[in-house]
Amino acid sequence: MSRARLSAWSLVAAAACWGTATAISKRAVEEIAPLTLLPIELTVSVAVLLVASAIAGDRSLPSRNRAALGWLGVLNPGLSYALSLAGLARITASSSALLWATEPILILALAWLVLRQRPGMPTLGCAAIALVGVVLVVAQPGIQLSTIGVVLTVAGVGACAIYTVLSSQYLGEASTLGVVLLQQSAALGFAALLGIGALVTGHAGSLADVSLTGWASALAAGALYYGVAFWFYLNGLRACSPTVAALFINLVPVFGVTSAALLLGERLATKQWIGSALILAAVTVVALIQSSRPTNDPPKVDLSL
């Protein structure tokens, strides 16, 4: 198998892991409080990354910008997924996966505001179409959605988008595996503090009655979302640019919706299917616009998750 084809299959596998893990996390959050679930999942992910770094012989942490990169880890996956899990507890896994599909659009908007990288009219048009799609996805009577759940999820997506824009200024030549291990360790420390706060205030819930399925879901989601998916993603990036990789990341909501239907029995209304198609089409066109830019253009923000 050629290197390019292996790269493509690795990126598809990463998207499948991320989408499937959303449905699995939904099953876990039904039994485990969000602020208790987050440190459990991050503990699993850090353990997986430690094993991966040992196998790869890559134990180096970033020597430059270590503090900044650590704080970015608190932002994502720390704060970002704390908000996302809290939102996931209140909306369906399908809707959560589709709302996360808007991240590339938010990244472009933030890059415009923060880095003064103004998008062209086609990109702005795609952003408007994606916004219409989001409205169709979430504004459905009779669907298990709540305003606070949608707001929390979008806030989580926004935190992740801010992370992507800011991190582009600090990565440098540091080992990718080392950066992610540092950031997820920082996120785990933040999540532990949130868990302690939830325990003190009585919002941690009880783990005594969590079923075997609930525990299996928590552990599997932590390993899939952060560990296995990241390994596949790194392999995929070896033979393509991040903006091309973003085309494959657009498959995440497709796998998320499919997994939610198979594992949780969730179904989308007709208008939600139309909304999801608009979101995916808009994000894909934006990624194609970015990847088709001449190589002598100024550096653009990475649209990958």
pLDDT value of position 295: 45
Mean pLDDT value across the chain: 78
Q: Distance between CA atoms of 24 and 256, rounded to whole angstroms? A: 10
* pTM score above 0.85: no
| Within-domain flag for 296 | no
CB 26 within 8 A of CB 92: yes
Residue 24 in any domain: the answer is yes
137 DSSP assignment: H
pLDDT at residue 303, rounded to an integer: 40
- Domain contains 201: yes
Q: Mean pLDDT, to the nearest integer, of 40-68?
A: 81
Dihedral sign of CA atoms 209, 213, 216, 218 in order: negative
Report if residue 139 sits inside a domain.
yes
Host domain of residue 52: 3-291
Confidence (pLDDT) at 305: 42
Q: Decide if pLDDT at 169 tops 90.
A: no
Q: Is the preceding peptide bond at 242 cis, omega within 30 degrees of 0?
A: no
In a domain, 184, yes or no: yes
**3-class secondary-structure state, position 60:** coil
Looking at residue 257, its pLDDT comes to: 82
Output the pLDDT for position 31. Answer: 94
pLDDT 10s digits, 251-262: 777 788 888 888
Residue 300 located in a structural domain: no
Q: Which DSSP letter does residue 75 get?
A: I
Q: Range with the lowest mean pLDDT among 121-130, 134-143, 176-185, 209-218?
A: 134-143
d(CA 248, CA 235): 13
**Is the separation of the CB atoms in 89 and 29 below 8 Å?**
yes
For 31-47, what is each residue's pLDDT tens digit?
A: 999 999 999 999 999 99
How many structural domains compose the chain?
1
**For the segment 264-279, what is each residue's pLDDT rounded down to a tens digit?**
888 777 877 887 788 7
- From the list 293, 186, 171, 283, the residue with the least C-alpha distance to 237 is 171
Per-residue pLDDT for 50 more than 80?
yes
Q: What is the DSSP string of 145-200?
A: --HHHHHHHHHHHHHHHHHHHHHTTT-TT--HHHHHHHHHHHHHHHHHHHHHHHHH
Inside any domain, residue 223: yes
